[in-house]
Structure 1
């Protein structure tokens, strides 16, 4: 690894990517971001500035997960590649391949280009959805990086499958390809923390839906929560720390239900208290409603189970002290009000 390596971050307009870019820049690194179109370049620069980083050392190049074009140029000269680009639809598509194909094939394109360019290390932005849905785990099982989702389960959404298949594809590639880069995976849970602009993540878009009073009741589901600032720090630590190659890191702190998310929003923004969900729906009602409401299909795998998990590995090996779930959600809600989006 060069002493001051060029860092490449794919999908530079995403929430995690913007925060990760800012974290690298604050630590003095030069960053190249990939975008599907350079039309978003100035928006990313402004976001990075809001995050307290100087965009002077940030450049961009066009590369799309669905095309081979541009990837060799994108990673040329890089010591580290952070592959964060991946589709995350709030409404699940009719054809699962609409989400799975770009996630899987895009990961392969990045890894092939990184191998050709002799990149030292790739940090993959995966997800806890690639951990929390194996088959055959007993009730009360404590999930950790040792678990891997079974993507053949029929109850999983296309997005859950896409993240799992993309990560497994990455590990298979590294194992089978001579000269492949080192690989570390970061598996964030439900990403909260402050939004930086109006180009909202799917996680933040949830509050805009709540603020409209769209759902007077919430499905009875809970998520492990993480703050995007901690996710960004995890990526930077994973890029350079020795002795962690070949590892996955579950990033999450605490657990909140959809109903509790709404209650935090009502607490922080009392004018919206009449809009948030007032009670939790029984599971059978959610399943029935999901036949007609595609957004609800995303939460179906969560029904009927509150998952226990361990974040000991990310704290011990990456040295992170994670923000709590309430702090992360509070920051998200307040940022959306500051941006006048709710």
Structure 2
């Protein structure tokens, strides 16, 4: 552990989340003081357990504060004395939504709430966890890899969750431009996040591996996606936090190699043998998935991704910040192996 960062406090929002826990691990390992928000302090023990599994043994430099993105209470206290903020917390996708505003309004208002509190407290820089969903959705006839210059098409065929990520990030950049008062901003836009699972709180991307190993997915939709390891996403947050060149920049967190869902199943079978016997071996026609999504709300987001071009470039983070991510296969296998170790896969 280095001591050069002693005395520098970093706020991490949504400390129980999959990416947030890994960010906290990296920060504590590098000697930072970490304050993290939870919607309820009842989850402190759960977060400490995940951190222990991630290799943290001392919690002297970690503190918790109760704060909810949908309310003003405690955000002024949460950012007080912080040099940096990693705003990782985000509303998760709502499956049975009645209106898209159920996702859009909380995402946008939550981001602005943090930015205003950070500006008032004279925080140096915020790193906002945005998403690939704010870059590569709703666009037709794409043939070249998506980069940080791209934005999702709000008028295209995209799920309200992806729309919420796009609107929230745009609102953040507009705030910095018009009323930031010197507050710095960087964003990290991860593709589908895999990697070591430390508890029962993990990203919705990880659920694909779980469902495949349990035999819940009998055949794969023709959906392509790039993958990235959560440890590398955490590394990129820290690089974006401290590098002068990162101010005012977006960074795609991606290995750059798009995989189909069938590719994931084949990776599991290759590496796990009989343990992955229930993983699917065939693909579903697009018309079948679209028809099923009419009756099954959990398939609606998936249906918007069918057949979509999904190649991305991670060159900006590699070149500007010297970021070096693991392969998508390594990230996927880390998810599978840790889920098996924790007993999260039903036999």
- TM-score surpassing 0.5? yes
Match of residue 76 from structure 1:
80
* 1:28 and 2:31 aligned: yes
Structure 1 counterpart SS, 2:108: helix
Take 2:94 and 2:104, find their aligned partners in 1: how far apart are those partners? 15
Take 1:219 and 1:181, find their aligned partners in 2: how far apart are those partners? 43
Match of residue 269 from structure 1:
272
Aligned-residue offset at 1:95:
2.2
User: Does structure 1 retain, via aligned residues, the 8 Å contact 2:191–2:225?
Assistant: yes
Take 1:94 and 1:71, find their aligned partners in 2: how far apart are those partners? 29
Take 2:79 and 2:159, find their aligned partners in 1: how far apart are those partners? 31
Aligned-residue offset at 1:134:
5.6
Structure 2 counterpart SS, 1:132: coil
* 1:59 and 2:32 aligned: no
Structure 1's consecutive aligned runs of 4 or more residues displaced over 3 angstroms after TM superposition are: 267-274
Residues 250-276 of structure 1, C-alpha deviation per residue, up to 9 Å, x if partnerless? 011122111121222233433444422
* 1:283 and 2:286 aligned: yes
Match of residue 234 from structure 1:
236
* 1:296 and 2:299 aligned: yes
Aligned-residue offset at 1:127:
0.6
Structure 1 counterpart SS, 2:226: strand
Residues 91-113 of structure 1, C-alpha deviation per residue, up to 9 Å, x if partnerless? 35232222212111100100010
The 1:25/1:245 distance shift into structure 2, 3 A limit, reads: same
The 1:262/1:93 distance shift into structure 2, 3 A limit, reads: farther
Take 1:49 and 1:215, find their aligned partners in 2: how far apart are those partners? 32
TM-score, with normalisation over the residues of structure 2? Answer: 0.93
User: Does structure 2 retain, via aligned residues, the 8 Å contact 1:114–1:180?
Assistant: no
User: Does structure 1 retain, via aligned residues, the 8 Å contact 2:210–2:336?
Assistant: no
Match of residue 248 from structure 1:
250
User: Does structure 1 retain, via aligned residues, the 8 Å contact 2:134–2:169?
Assistant: yes
Q: Which runs of 5+ in 1 are unaligned?
A: none
The 1:307/1:203 distance shift into structure 2, 3 A limit, reads: closer
Q: Which runs of 5+ in 2 are unaligned?
A: none
Aligned-residue offset at 1:294:
1.6
Q: How does 1:171-186 map to 2 (within 5 A)?
A: 171-186=173-188
Structure 1 counterpart SS, 2:246: coil
Structure 2 counterpart SS, 1:122: strand
Take 1:314 and 1:258, find their aligned partners in 2: how far apart are those partners? 26
RMSD: 1.7
Take 2:113 and 2:288, find their aligned partners in 1: how far apart are those partners? 42
Aligned-residue offset at 1:39:
1.0
Structure 2 counterpart SS, 1:25: helix
Structure 2 counterpart SS, 1:291: helix
Q: 2:154 aligns with which of 126, 151, 155?
A: 151
Structure 1 counterpart SS, 2:142: coil
Take 2:79 and 2:223, find their aligned partners in 1: how far apart are those partners? 40
Match of residue 197 from structure 2:
195
Q: 2:336 aligns with which of 330, 333, 339?
A: 333
Take 2:89 and 2:289, find their aligned partners in 1: how far apart are those partners? 30
Structure 2 counterpart SS, 1:187: strand
* 1:100 and 2:108 aligned: no
Match of residue 127 from structure 1:
131
The 1:178/1:161 distance shift into structure 2, 3 A limit, reads: closer
Residues 192-232 of structure 1, C-alpha deviation per residue, up to 9 Å, x if partnerless? 01101122321222223223322211110110100000000
Count matched residues: 339
Q: 2:223 aligns with which of 221, 224, 227?
A: 221
User: Does structure 2 retain, via aligned residues, the 8 Å contact 1:72–1:117?
Assistant: yes
Structure 2 counterpart SS, 1:309: coil
Take 2:250 and 2:85, find their aligned partners in 1: how far apart are those partners? 16
Structure 2 counterpart SS, 1:315: helix
Aligned-residue offset at 1:180:
4.6
